[in-house]
């Protein structure tokens, strides 16, 4: 079956869930505000520039999960989803997902953002298959480490290849939608790469190679045909 693969942050969402989670923690007084927000901004700038040290970022981003019981984390997460995520789920993104689903395509979200944050977002979007960075848990607590490979840059390709083998699927006829030049390794692997509200580097690459460019933020996504 044909795969329709989607990046999440700034693609299906009109914002970055990783970044917003950290802002939420600061606003709620859960972390040291000024210092934590400064680090968050530094890591986000590195991501935009394509120079992010993903392992250093994950140590920073996962640390608060180690400091609180799961019940409290789940309560905060639900508050975060209502306040920060529901307002930025793009209507055009929902229509695009529905359009692919109507054609019998298998929907997959692939994201560097960890599963604790993105699992319920994928559920809200009605997407069964999620490939995300996996935070490690031992005895029902987060450790601050990750399980396996970060789902970032070339890591997205490797994680998807593992998923393809496990599900006996391939990339023939496949689609991948992304906003970021960090996803160029995977965009080059699929049959139908689509740049969605792309950053300048991805836009330049897409135009050069004749890839489709669409906007989901302006509420008029091109059909997936």
Residues labelled as active-site residues:
7, 9
Closest by Cα among 121, 94, 95 to 110: 121
Contact 187, 16 (CB under 8 A): no
Which of 192, 4, 176 is CA-nearest to residue 104?
A: 4
Three-state SS at 140 = coil
Q: Which residues pair with 75 in a beta bridge?
A: none
Local structure of 47: helix, strand or coil: helix
105: DSSP letter: P
């Amino acid at each position: 079956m044909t795969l329709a693969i989607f990046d999440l942050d700034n693609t299906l969402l009109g914002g970055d869930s990783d970044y917003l989670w950290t802002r939420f923690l600061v606003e709620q007084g859960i972390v040291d505000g000024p210092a934590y927000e400064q680090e968050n901004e530094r890591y986000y700038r590195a991501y935009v520039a394509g120079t992010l040290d993903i392992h250093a970022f994950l140590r920073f981003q996962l640390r608060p999960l180690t400091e609180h019981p799961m019940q409290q984390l789940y309560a905060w997460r639900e508050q975060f989803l209502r306040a920060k995520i529901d307002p930025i789920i793009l209507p055009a993104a929902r229509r695009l997902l529905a359009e692919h689903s109507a054609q019998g395509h298998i929907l997959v979200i692939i994201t560097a953002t960890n599963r604790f944050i993105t699992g319920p977002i994928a559920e809200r979007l009605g997407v069964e298959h999620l490939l995300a960075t996996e935070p490690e848990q031992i005895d029902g607590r987060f450790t601050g480490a990750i399980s396996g490979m970060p789902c970032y840059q070339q890591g997205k390709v490797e994680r998807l290849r593992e998923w393809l083998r496990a599900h006996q699927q391939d990339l023939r006829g496949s689609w991948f939608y992304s906003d970021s030049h960090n996803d160029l390794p995977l965009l080059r692997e699929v049959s139908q790469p689509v740049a969605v509200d792309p950053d300048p580097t991805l836009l330049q690459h897409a135009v050069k190679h004749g890839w489709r460019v669409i906007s989901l933020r302006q509420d008029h996504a091109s059909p997936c045909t």
